[in-house]
A and B are shown apart, each in its own frame.
Chain A
Amino acid sequence: MLLGEIFQVALQAIRANKLRSFLTMLGIIIGVGAVITMVALGSGAQKAVQARLEALGPTLLSIYPGQSFRGGIAIDFGQRVSLTVDDADSLAAYARHVKAVVPELTRNQQIKRGGTNANVNIVGTTPNYPAVKNFTVTAGRMFTAGEDEGRRRLAVLGSAIPDMFNANPAGMIGQEIQIRGIPFEIIGVLSSKGSAAGFGNPDEQILIPLQTARYRIMGTDRLRTITVDAASVSQMTLTMIEIERVLRREHKIRPGGENDFQIRNQSDILATFQDTAKTFTYLLAGIATVSLIVGGIGIMNIMLVSVTERTREIGVRKALGATRFNILFQFLVEALVLCLAGGVIGILLGSFGAVALSRLAHWNTSINLLAIVVAFFFSALVGLFFGIWPARRAAALDPIVALRYE
């Protein structure tokens, strides 16, 4: 039997029951479509995170307060769990492999300008913040060390802040903004970094001098984080050991005692994200498998109904010379065509969904070619696996019984 004829017959049978065929395919369409969209979201987020981490530079280390986790459980010995401005000063003074230390005293505060309010992160920091963290000051200037020491009320805005007040960045320089009711002079605006999933928006923050933050706004010296720029990439481990030694001495931790801070470098953070991404991928694969199996059972169900309905046709074909293989192949191709059509529609819908999400909701998506290829072959596999049993039943029909079937 010629291949073209088999496909023609399969398409004819599918067209003859348009609604039923569509409903049957729906399981595969939804399964494949969901996988394509979710994988696009996952890899989009991953790419954005990676790009941001790479933009930060490979020599940056972040120090966070709090104990390191052991097997996912934080162990608390009742020691102080904090980083202070003094810790930052000690690092700057004693750690020799450190090029720059940027303390960040961060709190969420209300800001006000004219009649408009907003809540943003206020970051009390030192003048080297933009240089270390890869920002540039696009308008105005950064405050100086002297202004920091003098506890001056100066503010450098993140690039998203002017938009909140419907003002242009350059026009805001020299104007006043109130932070926690205290008037500050705007002296600069930073460049944009863009948001990335899992980090909060670095453009929606306001930098103020560290000492101003400590004494005038927050009334505390407890830092959220200290960023350290190591002197060289080749000595990252040495730098980390040195930081650890300085901080343990500052915190008076006895030998054998647990650190009450964590030091992370870029590759640690990257590894964490890659682990998360891997888990996410396994989860997706699980969902995809379940939905495709459910879809496949739907296909098998309909193919069994179809075999029963067309018993007479099978009898006629057998009487006219169709072999078992001819009949088996015909029904298998029909199941395969259903699954592949469902798969292709699912891929198109899923890709469309991913594009729509990035256009309308501004989520990072990246359509994964591998996911498309895998989804396509998986739906073909489902068609073969769930089509073979109904097809075998059709092929095994006794032509005499089939011809008399009412």
Chain B
Amino acid sequence: MTAAQAMSFHTGDVPTPDIVILTHHLTREYQMGAEVVHALRGVDIQIKKNEFVAVMGPSGSGKSTLMNLIGCLDTPTNGEYWLNSQKVSDLSDDELARIRNKEIGFVFQTFNLLPRADALHNVELPLIYAGIGAKDRRDRAARSLQQVGLGDRMDHRPNELSGGQRQRVAIARALVNQPSILLADEPTGNLDSATGSEIMALFHELHDTGQTIVLVTHEHDIAAHARRQIHLLDGKLERDERTEATT
């Protein structure tokens, strides 16, 4: 199976509701002094609901740039990006912040938890920016922590938790607003292989409950967990293939 079987999309079209992520000729250029760096040179990707996709590529291939664009942390120089049938490629800063809050759950390599806040408060953060009241917030954050198996660690601070537990807190935080996509950037990069496998097992569980997951990695073992692999090279789509999941 290849990317060729995706629906054809033209400028001016609106993607069908089952497509969570659609990029159309997505281009990103950076000005580095006098030089222009072409990080992405027109990438077309379509990801449907409940897909588990790994984005792969060597460093400099543009996968970080693609992840930033998909995560609405950045805006493209050219092309379109549709998230959940909404064109987000030309939104303002504040609108992008709202999209990040509602539609995207980030999981980072370095966890990026607030060191002074306990697990519960860390998970509450997206709900705070969503403007949800204290009681509701606490209930939802607690439920999210229970979902990742940390119901008994809510009042622990990050430095009182192991690496695997920290990443679970980060995943609970990513899920708490029920985002359209879970966007994980090298989620096992700072973990030993056993803990990494546990985290990947958790990803499978989430995928089984219907979560759409985009995993950015350069490790083949980790990418092998996904059901589809997108390979980037020099800012272009090199390969887009469906694979059987290893569990």
Contact = CB atoms under 8 A, between A and B. Distances in A.
Given A322-B129, A399-B73, A316 B97 contact: no
Interface string A393-405: 0000001100100
A324 B94 contact: yes
A361 interface: no
Interface in A173-191: none
A113 interface: no
A103 to B, nearest CB: 79
Contacts of B114: 313, 316
B93 A320 contact: no
A323 interface: yes
A163 interface: no
B146 interface: no
Interface stretch (B8-16, B52-60, B100-108): B100-108
Interface of B: 68, 71, 73-74, 93-94, 97-98, 100-102, 106, 108, 112-114, 116-117, 125-126, 128-131, 133-134, 173, 177
A55 interface: no
Contact of A16 (B71, B116, B125, B129): B116
A321 B133 CA distance: 16
Contacts of A315: 112
A5 B117 CA distance: 12
A248 interface: no
Contacts of B131: 1-2
Contacts, number: 66
A254 to B, nearest CB: 86
Nearest to A321: B101
Main secondary structure of the interface of A (DSSP, over half): helix
Contacts of A5: 128
Q: Considering residues A16, A315, A399, which has the most beta carbons from chain B within 10 angstroms of its beta carbon?
A: A399
Contacts of A318: 73, 97, 100
29 contacts: A1-B129, A1-B131, A2-B131, A2-B133, A5-B128, A12-B116, A12-B117, A312-B112, A313-B114, A315-B112, A316-B113, A316-B114, A316-B125, A318-B97, A318-B100, A320-B100, A320-B106, A320-B125, A320-B126, A321-B126, A321-B177, A322-B129, A323-B94, A324-B94, A324-B97, A325-B94, A400-B73, A403-B73, A403-B108
- List the 4 closest A-B pairs by CB distance, nearest first: A321-B101, A321-B129, A323-B97, A316-B112
B112 A400 contact: no
B48 to A, nearest CB: 24
Interface string A1-22: 1101100000011001000000
A326 B130 CA distance: 11
Contacts of B97: 318, 321-324, 326
Given A321-B101, A323-B93, A403-B112, 19 more contacts: A1-B128, A2-B131, A5-B128, A12-B116, A312-B112, A313-B114, A316-B112, A318-B100, A319-B73, A319-B112, A320-B106, A320-B129, A321-B98, A321-B100, A321-B102, A321-B130, A322-B129, A323-B94, A326-B129
Nearest to A316: B112
A392 interface: no
A399 to B, nearest CB: 5
